Amino acid sequence: MDSWSGKTIRPDRRRKHLQGSAEQRPEALMKSQVNESVPQEFILLGFSDRPWLEPPLFVVFLVSYILTIFGNLTIILVSQLDPKLHTPMYFFLSNLSLLDLCYTTSTVPQMLVNTCSGRKGISYGGCVAQLFMFLALGSTECLLLAVMSFDRFVAICRPLRYSVIMHRRLCLQLAAASWLAGFGNSVWLSTLTLQLPLCGRREVDHFFCEVPALLKLSCVDTTANEAELFFVSVLFHLIPLTLILISYAFIAQAVLRIRSAEGRRKAFGTCGSHLIVVSLFYGTAISMYLQPPSPASKDRGKMVSLFYGIIAPMLNPLIYTLRNKEVKEAFKRLVARVLAKK
C-alpha cells in the first residue's frame, strides 16, 4: 500500500514506479547542476574591496585607452599613406598597432563601465568574448614580436639580400601565420577553460575574464588545466623570446663590426625600440603565466595584467615614434598634407 495515497500498488508496478523515480532524479539533478554551472552573469571584482582606488583607476584607464587609440591609429595611417614606409618593418609594425587596438578594446570599455558605476557585472557571452580575444591577441603578439626580430636580423645581418629574403609574399605569410596560430591557441585553451564546471560561482577576482582567474572559479581539480596553461605559456612565451634573444645576439655582433659610428647608432636605434617593447611585454607576461601561483600574489597579478594589457599597448606607439626618425618625419608630412588640403 502506498503510505501517501492509501492505494495498494502491485509489486511489479511498485518496481517500475521506483525505477522511474530513480531514473528521473539523476536527470533532474544533472540539469540543475548544469544550470548552476553556467551563470548568466559574472561579477568582475577588480579592486572593489578598495573603492577609493576606483576614481584614479578610471582616469588611468580612460587616458591610456585614448592614447592607445590615437597612437596606434597614427602608426597605421602613417605606414599605409606614406610610400617611404612601405617596407616589411612598417608592415609588421602596422600589424602590431592593429593588434594592440583590438587588444585594449576587448577589455578596457567594460573596465571603464565597471569602475565608474556600482555595477560590476558582465554577461556570460561578454566574458567568453573577453577570454577568447585576450588569449588570441596576446598569443599573436608573442609570435609577431618574434617575427619582427627576424626582420631586423635579416636587415642588419643580410642587408644585401634583405629585399630578396623579406619579399611581400613572405611577410604576408609570416603575419598570417602569427594571427592564425594565436587564434588557434585561443580556441583550444578557451574551450578547455569553459568546459570546467563552476557550480554557481560567478565572482571573478580580476578586472576582466582571463584564464587564471576563471580557473579559480571551478569546483573541480584544475591541475590538468594549469599544466596545459603552463605548456602553452612555454610555447608562446619562452620559445619566441629565446629566438628573439638569439636574433639580437647575431645583430649585436653585426653592429659591432660596423666601422662608422653613425651606422652603429642608426642600427641600435632601429633595434632599440623593438627591444624595449619586447622587454615590457614578455617581462610582465612571463611573470604572470610562468610564476607559481600564491595567495600573496593575487593583487600583484592584477597589476601585472593591467600593465601588459593596457599600459604596454599605450607605450608601444610612443616608443616607436619617439625613437624613430622616419616615423616622425612621415607623421609631419601627413599633417602638412592634411593642413594643405584645408
Q: Secondary structure of 286-312 in the HEC alphabet? A: HHHHCCCCCHHHHHHHHHHHHHHHHHH
Reported as a single tens digit per residue, the pLDDT across 165-217 is 999 999 999 999 999 999 999 999 999 988 888 776 678 888 888 888 888 88
> pLDDT at position 97, please?
92
Whether residue 41 contacts residue 59, with contact meaning beta carbons closer than 8 Å, is answered with: no
Residue recorded with cell 594592440: 100
Whether residue 203 contacts residue 45, with contact meaning beta carbons closer than 8 Å, is answered with: yes
Reported as a single tens digit per residue, the pLDDT across 125-164 is 888 899 999 899 989 999 999 999 999 999 888 888 998 9
The pTM for the full model equals 0.81
Reported as a single tens digit per residue, the pLDDT across 243-298 is 999 998 998 888 888 777 776 777 676 677 788 888 888 887 777 776 665 555 56
- CB under 8 Å, gap of 24 or more: what pairs does 226-234 form? 228/189, 228/192, 229/189, 229/289, 230/289, 230/290, 232/139, 232/185, 232/189, 233/286, 233/289, 233/290, 234/290
Q: Which pLDDT band holds residue 22 (cuts at 50, 70, 90)?
A: very low
Reported as a single tens digit per residue, the pLDDT across 49-64 is 777 777 888 898 899 9
Nearest to 96 by CA among 138, 150, 51: 138
Q: Which pLDDT band holds residue 30 (cuts at 50, 70, 90)?
A: very low
Nearest to 316 by CA among 151, 160, 97, 111: 97
Reported as a single tens digit per residue, the pLDDT across 63-91 is 999 999 998 998 898 888 888 888 998 99
Sheet holding 203-204, edge to edge: 121-123, 41-44, 203-204
Query: What is d(CA 176, CA 181) in angstroms, rounded to the nearest whole number?
Result: 8
H or E segment and range at residue 87: none
